[in-house]
Amino acid sequence: MKCRRCRDRAVVDVRRHNAAFCGPCFLHHCREQVRRAIDDFDMIRPGERVLVAVSGGKDSLGLWDLLRELGHDADGLYVGLGIGAYSDESGRYAREFAHARGLKLVEVDLEADHGFSVPDGARAARRAPCSACGLSKRHVFNETAIAHGYDVLATGHNLDDEAAVLFGNVLRWETGYLGRQHPVLPAAPGFARKVKPLVRLGERELAAYCVLRGIDYIVEECPMAHGNRHLGYKEALNAIEERSPGTKASFLFGFLERGHPRFAADARDEREGLEPCLRCGAPTPGDGRGEALCAFCRLQARATGSGRP
């Protein structure tokens, strides 16, 4: 197989694009996909400060590298979730990446800074670990971006992730979530702008990118995520993609063009009527008396046995 760009020997094929690339042209392809996503969705403007949430995995470390390659001013944020050896190791990869390149990594540790770990939170609130984890991450990402004055918070969600989340939301017709599912969530009072610059790249492309760039990343998946619904959706979509390459991308981008505008009002309604959380100030659905706690502070209160509820 020959490289689509330079006709040299190809080393990576991208079936969705019916194309193959040599190493240097594949890296160029990845940068172009990210540059296009950033431009098409107006994610990051020149000179803005970006905080990249990095888990130590291929997607987020690849994203940090790609943003720097494209000339963006991007620091990293690692959140210690307290998931045993998995967290220790993922933190090590994030630190090593930053250290080797002389980059700034902001660290927040759920246990040391907020008094509980994801397993504690899940147990106390009788929630699935991934739900306690997702809630905590979203809260810490937003709080840290605002506290440190970043313009944008970027996460490593890729095409496969976004297609799987969309699939799940469609299967249950979660109209509020569908209205919020977009590669850019604009800033609002108490909310930093959130962007997903990897929406045009698949999981396999990110893995190949990291190998070609010599980026070491944690390969193991989170031990608490085994068998969760999201992985089932990914497997189902992979089976369809195998037969019809390009289906995932047309599912996601067709939704963004033609479906999302129909649900945007549901998400806007949810953002209205928010009040600052009594404890941390994060926007949260009000109780009419100005005494509401946000979901994160409620989880923390349960997990640490501090105050209500």
Residues near ligand FES, by CB under 6 A = 81, 83, 118, 129-130, 133, 222, 224-225
Which segment (12-20, 62-70, 252-260, 278-286) binds Zn ion by CB under 5 A? Answer: 278-286
SS3 14: strand
Nearer to ligand FES, 11 or 225 (CB): 225
In angstroms, the CA 271 to CA 154 distance is 20
Q: Which does 279 bind (CB under 5 to 8 A by kind): ligand AMP, ligand FES, Zn ion, none?
A: Zn ion
Nearer to ligand FES, 86 or 251 (CB): 86
Nearer to ligand FES, 44 or 133 (CB): 133
Residues that bind ligand AMP (CB under 6 A): 53-55, 59-60, 77-79, 81, 137, 155-157, 161
Within 10 angstroms of residue 73's Cβ, the number of other Cβ atoms is 14
SS3 120: helix
Closest distance to ligand FES from the beta carbon of 90 (Å): 9
Closest distance to Zn ion from the beta carbon of 79 (Å): 16
Residue 193 bridge partners (DSSP): 152
Nearest to 278 by CA among 261, 262, 295: 295
Nearer to ligand FES, 19 or 130 (CB): 130
Write the DSSP assignment of 64-112 as a string of letters. HHHHHHTT-EEEEEEEE---HHHHHHHHHHHHHHHHHHT--EEEEEHHH
Residues 6+ away with beta carbon under 8 Å from 207: 58
Q: Which does 118 bind (CB under 5 to 8 A by kind): Zn ion, ligand FES, ligand AMP, none?
A: ligand FES
Nearer to Zn ion, 54 or 140 (CB): 140
Alpha carbon dihedral 84, 90, 91, 96, in 10-degree steps, equals 150
Shortest Cβ contact with ligand AMP: which residue? 156
Which residues contact Zn ion by CB under 5 A?
277, 279-280, 282, 294, 297
